[in-house]
Amino acid sequence: MTKKQERARARRRWERRQASLARRRARRQRWGRIAAVVAVVALVGGLVTVLGLTLGSRGSDAAPASTPSAASTTLAGCPLPPKPLGTSAELSLPDKATAAGKTFTATLTTNCGDIVLSLDGTKAPQATAAFVDLARRNYYIDAPCHRLTTAPTLKVLQCGDPTGTGEGSPGFGYGVENAPKDGRYPRGTVAMARTSDPKKGTGGQFFIVYGDSTLPDPNGYTVVGKVTAGLDIVDKVAAAGVAPNPKSPDDGPPAAPISILSVAVTEEKS
């Protein structure tokens, strides 16, 4: 065999070896890619499984908001309200000019749903200004409706005291305005509660009339507006009655607790 033939044979061996190495590298790369894909698929599958188990356990452990468990609902079927903040305030009486001639919509978000009020700043400018100011200061947050009356001539739900006792005050008082002369308060009326002092006894508490009522007090109570939506919520609470009260079976805390969680107020544009 000549040297030329040996060199050619050696070159062919080298080429075959390089081709074999190239095929091996290609196989390794191909299997590496397959392994990587399999690993990714396995990882994704594992994550999906874990997430599915996690979300599934959360969904099964937590009762949906729309269907709370019986142990966490009131007699009216509402979620139990939070504990009241338990404090009054020391605020200044807002200028009635801020509400005069204006109408406001106040949305009371309660543990039983939204109750929407229309506040009349033309007929009750001071009461409207005070209500709007207190709402914007978050005075009514987690404030229970602490009193329900179910007497034939007096059907009201009283709210607006952050202490939940009926004794809380925003730190100011003002006089009665826009009180009906005949002492009649039709269903849907929103009026301000007060102390025995008609000149400075009105503060932050108010009552919602869920049935035509009569209050014979000669000084009356300020009618600040009316309920435009959600009166059925008050009806539901009233239907559960007053909590057991030996002193007055038709006047006391509602048996189905209801609290104002927050109040949003907007001015209505004419």
pLDDT band at 270 (very low <50, low <70, confident <90, very high): confident
- The DSSP letter of residue 73 is B
Q: Is 224 helix (H, G, I), strand (E, B) or coil?
A: strand
Q: Is 12 helix (H, G, I), strand (E, B) or coil?
A: helix
- Kindly state the tokens that stand for 213: 């009522």
Examine the pLDDT at 5 and tell me if it is beyond 60. no
What is the value of pTM for the model shown? Answer: 0.74
Examine the pLDDT at 38 and tell me if it is beyond 60. no
The phi-psi region of residue 245 (left if phi > 0; otherwise alpha if psi is between -120 and 50; otherwise beta) is beta
Read off the amino acid at residue 36: A
pLDDT digits (tens, 9 = 90+) for 144-195: 999 999 999 999 999 999 999 999 999 999 999 999 999 999 999 999 999 9
What is the rounded distance in angstroms from the CA atom of residue 147 to the CA atom of residue 219? Answer: 21
Examine the pLDDT at 111 and tell me if it is beyond 60. yes
Residues in the chain: 270
Terminus-to-terminus CA distance in the chain, angstroms? 112
Q: Is 200 helix (H, G, I), strand (E, B) or coil?
A: coil
Examine the pLDDT at 264 and tell me if it is beyond 70. yes
pLDDT band at 136 (very low <50, low <70, confident <90, very high): very high
pLDDT band at 68 (very low <50, low <70, confident <90, very high): very low
pLDDT digits (tens, 9 = 90+) for 192-215: 999 999 999 999 999 999 999 999
